[in-house]
């Protein structure tokens, strides 16, 4: 019959599309559609939110400028008694010469202009009484630094995780300075956190051999030097103590010019070490630095821990070095990964963590499915008893509804979380409302003594406006939730919206078509509602 | 089969003062509990640490507490969950743990040493104070915006006054924005938005909108009170439940209001209270059936769904139940508060169109 054929065609189409999208979840690889993703709470895994400490990046930029200014002042003969940090974005220069104060100030401005550009750092206040000049970083530039820092950190973390090998990791920016990392199915969470959070700043610094280490340890650290400790405990008998080194503050080279890092095994001690290669520029620098410091000791420092401090025997050309330490094979492998992926431009701090073990995830799936099955059965049986034949039609609608939610999840690449399962369960209870509205209306029309077909017509027509309205309010709430919710709650909003939308289709189009078919074709003479 | 026989005539409107009293009692009980116990925020909002462990054999809570001494968390509370044979425990602490590096492994070893049983750390959730604060304001804004959207929708939909509802929305958003410049807290903003909304509805005689929003506030307040009475912490999933309840509560109200407008057209002579009674009775079967099925599913979830969805399910169990009651007793009788227009069916010609 022409009357309902367009509905039948539409239902057929929806059914086929739904099945096409749902099947890969149960039989992966049958055709190239995606499976429904399980949320971290169901398959186990780790969710981290990291905060990039961008102010540290600003601080180190300021420190770099301070060092460069010192060198420039020496060259240009600006006499000063020190350059100190002032606040988070400023430097305070204490000039020495009171007669030449004005000239010095002008010279500083010139130096700033030529060496840094006026959009980076400018002199902010000049005090001739105390002979001080205050420099500040421009706000815009500070923001640029912070933005770049976060972007670079995101890139670095992404590289590290790629090399670590996790299935379908999700790494994204959250807000201005936060990075959200989701690692589904990961078991060794400690190792992953170590790998993500390690700053991995590799520095080559000269040891300060002119001054006494003992005095430095007693608090008399010579200017321009600093005490750093070894990464592992000293091997020379003093167990439990880390070996101190007196190291010059100046960094000769960093790991930024690395081209490769890989694990190798020392043939003599059978211990793994990390071999590093420099790029062209790095190799030249390394050759120069080693050439200038023959017979001196150079410390290889990673995140402010000294890994080794060998004596430079001769100029080293070719650009390769090795980092030794008492690594086990895995530690060496992870170190190679972080060195290859590059250092983080600023430290990161874990400010949110949600880790679910795989056993709890499985447990949740079982409980979720059990609730889903029991509640569906209760509702299906109840509706079938209550509305008889029409009740079975409503049941059919409900089953199609669940199928459509599943297909929708697969289609839009949604993630099924435990709250998402709760959303489906709730949808079952609420979707049946549409059919109830229609059937109650039909019953009322029947009491007025109308013919079955007229009752069906009036029932569907009158109920449909109410159904649209009623579902729209749930949809509003679900959309707001989606907009503001995080993680699993979003999953709930998704399944709820899918369920509400699907339920309108199953009630108004599908149920209508089936009921029309049953009665309009005279298969059933009396209404069974 | 019928639960409610057709032709049922219960005088709901006549019972309205009794119902108002009963509702006040429930609301007051909840508010008292909130005041005495103080609102309890879960780690999502307050920040802190939540750890779920499973022991291989039965252990004591004291032993678990001892195992936690080393990690140095403030305000640690241990609670057994699931059935006794599961040996599963939830540990909550007020401070966010430093979960870097070997946290879980070290904790597992400490717990095994203290309890003498193999302990598996199944879930670790740590929320820093800043994140907690952010989530709190996010959740409150979600509540706020859904309130605004719904206010617009109801006033537009029921009174056919989309223009008015647009102005209303602008007024609410505007006044809230003005006040937010003075750096007041978000709960206060929400309260303000509510008061402005109610006043506007009253002033503009938007009685359907008034009825809907009052029953909505009624449902949410009682649910929040029940959560406090039964010692549930406020978490993200409870916010999700509350928003869902807002949608659900409206859904019911809309069905009854639609019927009222239909009946006003049908019986123009009938006084308003008769119309309301008739409409509520006519839709009673649907109201009860729908809420019964929805209630069945959330009760299943509450008992079978496990710990993770329990707070969500509890809010829904309470909320759906109260929602049914408010649909029948609260939303419609509110229409009678607009006395000057309440004399008969001649009312609301605009609405009838």
Bridge partners (DSSP) of residue A134 are A92, A125
Q: Which fold has domain A54-142?
A: Alpha-Beta Plaits (3.30.70)
- SS3 state at A37: strand
Instruction: Report the alpha-carbon distance of residue A465 to residue A446 in Å, rounded.
Output: 20
- Using a CB-CB cut-off of 8 Å, the residues of chain B touching A436 are 286, 289-290, 293
Strands (E), A77-224: 80-86, 90-95, 121-127, 132-137, 170-174, 178-184, 202-207
Give the pLDDT mean for A111-133.
82
Report yes or no: A293 at the B interface, CB cutoff 8 Å: no
Q: What local confidence, expressed as pLDDT, does residue B30 receive? A: 93
- Going A77 to A78 to A79 to A85, the CA torsion angle's sign is negative
pLDDT at residue A383 tops 80: yes
Q: Which two tokens stand for residue B82?
A: 């699931």
Looking up tokens 């209270």 gives B273
Instruction: Report the alpha-carbon distance of residue B121 to residue B68 in Å, rounded.
Output: 12
Instruction: Give the orientation angle of helix B207-229 with respect to helix B16-37, to 10 degrees.
Output: 40
Q: Which fold has domain A198-354?
A: Gyrase A; domain 2 (3.30.1360)
Do B109 and B201 reside in the same domain of the chain? no
Residue B5 within a domain: no
Which percentage of chain A shows pLDDT scores above 90? 23
Residue among B236, B248, B292 whose CB faces A474 most closely? B248
Do B113 and B262 reside in the same domain of the chain? no
The pLDDT-based confidence of A376 (bands split at 50, 70, 90) is: very high
Q: What local confidence, expressed as pLDDT, does residue B343 receive? A: 41
Instruction: Report the alpha-carbon distance of residue A230 to residue A200 in Å, rounded.
Output: 15
Neighbours of B55 (CB within 10 A): 20
Q: How many domains does chain B have?
A: 2
- Using a CB-CB cut-off of 8 Å, the residues of chain A touching B296 are 375, 378-379, 382, 429
pLDDT at residue B352 tops 60: no
DSSP summary character for residue A298 = E
- SS3 state at A328: coil
Judged by CB atoms closer than 8 Å, whether chains meet at A471 and B244 is answered as no
Instruction: Report the alpha-carbon distance of residue B123 to residue B76 in Å, rounded.
Output: 16
- Using a CB-CB cut-off of 8 Å, the residues of chain A touching B236 are 485-486, 488-489
Do B117 and B242 reside in the same domain of the chain? no
Instruction: Report the alpha-carbon distance of residue A63 to residue A221 in Å, rounded.
Output: 19
Boundary of a domain, candidates B95, B127, B159: B127
Q: Which two tokens stand for residue B114?
A: 């203290």
The predicted-structure confidence for A285-320, as pLDDT tens digits, reads as follows: 899 999 999 899 999 898 888 888 888 888 888 888
Report yes or no: B298 at the A interface, CB cutoff 8 Å: yes
User: Kind and range of the H or E element at A61?
Assistant: helix A54-76
Which percentage of chain B shows pLDDT scores above 90? 22
Q: Which of A3-17, A233-247, B215-229 has the highest mean pLDDT?
A: B215-229
Asked if A160 contacts A348 with a C-beta cutoff of 8 angstroms, the reply is: no
Q: Which of residues 139-198 of B touch A (CB under 8 A)?
A: 139, 141-142, 145-146, 149-150, 153, 157
Sequence ranges of the domains in chain A: 2-42+358-520, 54-142, 198-354
Q: What local confidence, expressed as pLDDT, does residue A235 receive? A: 53
DSSP summary character for residue A318 = S
Judged by CB atoms closer than 8 Å, whether chains meet at B131 and A472 is answered as no
pLDDT at residue B351 tops 60: no
Instruction: Report the alpha-carbon distance of residue A501 to residue A408 in Å, rounded.
Output: 10
Domain that holds residue B82: 48-127
Q: What local confidence, expressed as pLDDT, does residue A307 receive? A: 86
CATH number of the domain enclosing B138: 1.20.1640.10
**CA proximity to A477, closest of B145, B43, B156:** B145
**A274 vs B339, residue with greater confidence:** A274
Q: What local confidence, expressed as pLDDT, does residue A195 receive? A: 86
Do B63 and B157 reside in the same domain of the chain? no
CATH number of the domain enclosing B91: 3.30.70.3190
Which among A477, A483, A494, A503 is the top mutation candidate for probing chain B, defined by the most B β-carbons within 10 Å of its own β-carbon? A477
Angstroms from A255 CA to nearest CA on chain B: 23
Mean pLDDT for chain A overall: 86
> Which has the minimum average pLDDT: A49-58, A149-158, B45-54, B196-205?
B196-205
Mean pLDDT for chain B overall: 84
H helix runs in B204-326, sequence order: 207-229, 236-266, 272-304, 310-326
Do B123 and B135 reside in the same domain of the chain? no
Boundary of a domain, candidates B127, B150, B176: B127
Bridge partners (DSSP) of residue A94 are A82, A132
The pLDDT-based confidence of B192 (bands split at 50, 70, 90) is: confident
Do B214 and B108 reside in the same domain of the chain? no
Looking up tokens 């069974």 gives A528
Boundary of a domain, candidates B127, B150, B169: B127
**B74 vs B265, residue with greater confidence:** B265
Q: What local confidence, expressed as pLDDT, does residue B349 receive? A: 39
The number of residues making up chain B comes to: 353
Do B32 and B167 reside in the same domain of the chain? yes
Instruction: Report the alpha-carbon distance of residue A519 to residue A525 in Å, rounded.
Output: 7
Angstroms from B284 CA to nearest CA on chain A: 10
Angstroms from A398 CA to nearest CA on chain B: 12
Instruction: Report the alpha-carbon distance of residue A104 to residue A111 in Å, rounded.
Output: 10
* Long-range contacts, B217-220 (Cβ 8 Å, 24+): B218/B23, B218/B27, B218/B322, B218/B326, B218/B330, B219/B245, B219/B246, B219/B249, B219/B319, B219/B322, B219/B323, B219/B326, B220/B245, B220/B246, B220/B249, B220/B319
The pLDDT-based confidence of A234 (bands split at 50, 70, 90) is: low
Do B115 and B145 reside in the same domain of the chain? no
Residue among A351, A357, A421 whose CB faces B130 most closely? A351
Give the pLDDT mean for B277-295.
92
Do B55 and B106 reside in the same domain of the chain? yes
Write down the ipTM of this complex.
0.86
Q: Which of residues 83-112 of B touch A (CB under 8 A)?
A: 96, 99-105
Give the pLDDT mean for A332-344.
86
- Distance, C-alpha A347 to centroid of its chain: 15
pLDDT at residue B344 tops 70: no
From A191, which residue of chain B is nearest by alpha-carbon distance? B101
Whole-Å CA distances, A367 to A17, A176, A502, B11: 29, 38, 25, 43
Instruction: Report the alpha-carbon distance of residue B20 to residue B333 in Å, rounded.
Output: 10
Asked if A192 contacts A46 with a C-beta cutoff of 8 angstroms, the reply is: yes
The predicted-structure confidence for A89-114, as pLDDT tens digits, reads as follows: 888 888 887 778 888 888 888 888 88
Neighbours of A487 (CB within 10 A): 19
Q: What is the pTM of this model?
A: 0.83
Whole-Å CA distances, A482 to A354, A473, A518, B55: 20, 14, 40, 37
Asked if B228 contacts B28 with a C-beta cutoff of 8 angstroms, the reply is: no
CATH of domain A2-42+358-520: 1.20.1640.10
Which among A373, A473, A503, A528 is the top mutation candidate for probing chain B, defined by the most B β-carbons within 10 Å of its own β-carbon? A473
Residue among A356, A363, A466 whose CB faces B306 most closely? A363
The pLDDT-based confidence of A4 (bands split at 50, 70, 90) is: low
From B145, which residue of chain A is nearest by alpha-carbon distance? A480
Residue among B101, B149, B255 whose CB faces A466 most closely? B255
């Amino acid at each position: 019959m022409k009357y309902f054929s367009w509905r039948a065609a539409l239902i057929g189409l929806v059914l086929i599309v739904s099945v096409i999208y749902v099947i890969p979840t149960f039989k992966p690889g049958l055709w190239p559609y995606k499976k429904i993703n399980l949320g971290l709470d169901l398959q186990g895994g780790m969710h981290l939110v990291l905060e990039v400490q961008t102010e540290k990046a600003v601080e180190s930029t300021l420190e770099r400028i301070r060092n460069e200014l010192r060198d420039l002042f020496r060259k240009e003969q600006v006499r000063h008694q020190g350059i100190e940090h002032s606040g988070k974005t400023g430097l305070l220069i204490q000039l020495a010469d009171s007669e030449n104060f004005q000239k010095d100030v002008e010279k500083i401005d010139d130096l700033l202009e030529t060496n840094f550009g006026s959009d980076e750092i400018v002199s902010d206040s000049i005090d001739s009484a105390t002979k001080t000049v205050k420099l500040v970083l421009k706000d815009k530039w500070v923001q640029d630094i912070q933005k770049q820092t976060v972007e670079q950190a995101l890139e670095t973390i992404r590289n590290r995780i790629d090399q670590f090998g996790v299935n379908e990791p999700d790494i994204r920016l959250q807000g201005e300075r936060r990075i959200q990392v989701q690692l589904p199915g990961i078991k060794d969470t400690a190792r992953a956190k170590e790998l993500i959070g390690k700053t991995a700043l590799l520095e080559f610094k000269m040891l300060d051999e002119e001054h006494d280490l003992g005095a430095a340890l007693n608090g008399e650290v010579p200017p321009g030097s600093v005490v750093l400790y070894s990464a592992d405990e000293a091997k020379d008998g003093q167990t439990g103590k880390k070996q101190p080194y007196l190291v010059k503050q100046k960094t000769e080279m960093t790991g930024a010019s690395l081209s490769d890092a890989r694990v190798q095994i020392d043939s003599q001690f059978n211990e793994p070490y990390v071999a590093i290669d420099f790029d062209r520029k790095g190799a030249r620098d390394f050759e120069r630095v080693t050439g200038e410091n023959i017979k001196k000791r150079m410390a290889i420092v990673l995140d402010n821990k000294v890994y080794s401090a060998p004596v430079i025997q001769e100029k080293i050309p070719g650009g390769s070095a090795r980092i030794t330490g008492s690594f086990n094979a895995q530690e060496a492998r992870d170190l190679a990964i972080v060195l290859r992926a590059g250092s983080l431009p600023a430290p990161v701090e874990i400010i949110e963590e949600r880790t679910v073990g795989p056993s709890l995830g499985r447990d949740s799936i079982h409980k979720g499915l059990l609730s889903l099955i029991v509640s569906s059965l209760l509702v299906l049986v109840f509706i079938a008893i209550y509305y008889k034949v029409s009740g079975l039609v409503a049941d059919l609608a409900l089953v199609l509804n669940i199928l459509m939610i599943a297909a929708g999840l697969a289609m839009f690449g949604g993630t099924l979380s435990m709250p998402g399962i709760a959303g489906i369960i709730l949808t079952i209870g609420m979707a049946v409302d549409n059919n109830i509205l229609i059937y109650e209306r039909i019953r009322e029309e029947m009491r007025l003594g109308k013919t079955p077909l007229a009752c069906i017509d009036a029932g569907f027509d009158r109920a449909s406006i109410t159904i649209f309205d009623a579902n729209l309010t749930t949809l509003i709430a679900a959309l707001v939730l989606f907009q503001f919710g995080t993680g699993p709650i979003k999953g709930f909003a998704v399944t709820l919206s899918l369920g509400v939308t699907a339920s309108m289709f199953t009630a108004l189009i599908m149920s209508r078509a089936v009921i029309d078919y049953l009665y309009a074709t005279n298969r059933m003479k009396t209404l069974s509602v | 089969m019928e639960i409610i026989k057709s032709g049922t005539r219960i005088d709901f409107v006549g019972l309205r003062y009794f119902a108002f009293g009963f509702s006040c009692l429930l609301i007051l009980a909840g508010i008292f509990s909130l005041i005495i116990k103080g609102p309890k925020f879960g780690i999502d909002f307050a920040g802190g640490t939540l750890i779920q462990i499973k022991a291989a054999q039965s252990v004591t809570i004291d032993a678990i507490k001892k195992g936690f001494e080393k990690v140095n968390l403030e305000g640690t509370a241990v609670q057994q969950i699931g059935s006794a044979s599961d040996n599963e425990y939830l540990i909550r602490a007020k401070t966010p743990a430093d979960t870097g590096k070997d946290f879980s492994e070290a904790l597992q070893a400490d717990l095994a040493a203290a309890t003498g049983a193999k302990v598996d750390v199944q879930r670790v959730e740590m929320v820093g104070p800043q994140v907690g604060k952010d989530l709190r304001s996010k959740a409150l804004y979600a509540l706020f915006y859904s309130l605004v959207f719904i206010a617009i929708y109801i006033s537009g939909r029921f009174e056919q006054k989309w223009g008015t509802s647009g102005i209303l929305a602008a007024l609410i958003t505007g006044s809230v924005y003005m006040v937010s410049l003075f750096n007041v807290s978000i709960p206060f903003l929400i309260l303000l938005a509510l008061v402005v909304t109610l006043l506007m509805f009253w002033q503009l005689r938007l009685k359907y909108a008034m009825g809907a929003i009052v029953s909505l506030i009624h449902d949410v307040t009682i649910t929040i009170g029940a959560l406090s009475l039964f010692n549930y912490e406020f978490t993200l999933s409870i916010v999700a439940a509350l928003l869902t309840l807002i949608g659900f509560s409206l859904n019911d109200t809309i069905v009854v209001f639609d019927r009222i407008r239909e009946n006003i057209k049908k019986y123009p002579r009938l006084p308003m209270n008769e119309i309301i009674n008739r409409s509520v009775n006519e839709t009673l079967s649907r109201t009860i059936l729908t809420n019964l099925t929805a209630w069945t599913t959330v009760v299943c979830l509450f008992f079978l769904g496990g710990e993770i969805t329990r707070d969500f399910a509890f809010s829904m169990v309470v909320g759906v139940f109260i929602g049914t009651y408010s649909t029948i007793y609260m939303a419609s009788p509110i229409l009678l508060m607009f006395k000057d227009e309440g004399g008969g069916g001649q009312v609301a010609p605009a609405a009838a169109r």
